[in-house]
């Protein structure tokens, strides 16, 4: 995986995996603002460098930490998924 690519894992794309400047990170594909998929269910993520925007209200998350740095849920975090659990979600 190259930096800039976001991959979805799971039958419904419930986990997103991204290569960041700090290494590979995985999070549930759910915005903490309104519990909606960050990609709106399309599989197309709005990413620039280590930042990812939620398509619903443009909350911006730092992918290295999962923390929202701008928007309606500043300070709240994406739910991390341990990388060693990803095989259990693939399918």
Q: What is the pLDDT at residue 65?
A: 98
Determine, yes or no, domain membership for 28.
yes
Bigger pLDDT: 1 or 58? 58
CA-wise closest residue to 15 among 68, 84, 74, 79: 79
- The residue segments making up the domain with residue 60 are 6-81
Structure tokens belonging to residue 54? 């939620």
Determine, yes or no, domain membership for 46.
yes
Does the pLDDT at position 64 exceed 50?
Answer: yes
Find the DSSP H helices in 1-91. 86-89
Q: What is the pLDDT at residue 63?
A: 97
CATH code assigned at 46: 2.102.10.10
Determine, yes or no, domain membership for 89.
no
- Token pair 């443009």: residue: 58
Q: Has this prediction a pTM greater than 0.75?
A: yes
- Per the structure, the count of domains in the chain is 1
Determine, yes or no, domain membership for 91.
no
Give the tens place of pLDDT for each residue, 10-51.
Answer: 887 899 999 999 999 999 999 999 999 999 999 899 999 999
Does the pLDDT at position 87 exceed 80?
Answer: no
């Amino acid at each position: 995986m190259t930096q800039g690519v976001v991959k979805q894992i799971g039958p419904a794309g419930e986990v997103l995996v991204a290569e960041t400047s700090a290494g590979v990170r995985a999070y549930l594909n759910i915005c903490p603002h309104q519990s909606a998929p960050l990609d709106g269910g399309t599989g197309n993520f709005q990413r620039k460098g280590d930042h990812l925007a939620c398509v619903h209200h443009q909350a911006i998350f730092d992918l290295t930490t999962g923390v929202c740095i701008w928007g309606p849920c500043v300070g709240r975090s994406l739910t991390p998924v341990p990388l060693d659990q990803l095989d259990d979600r693939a399918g």
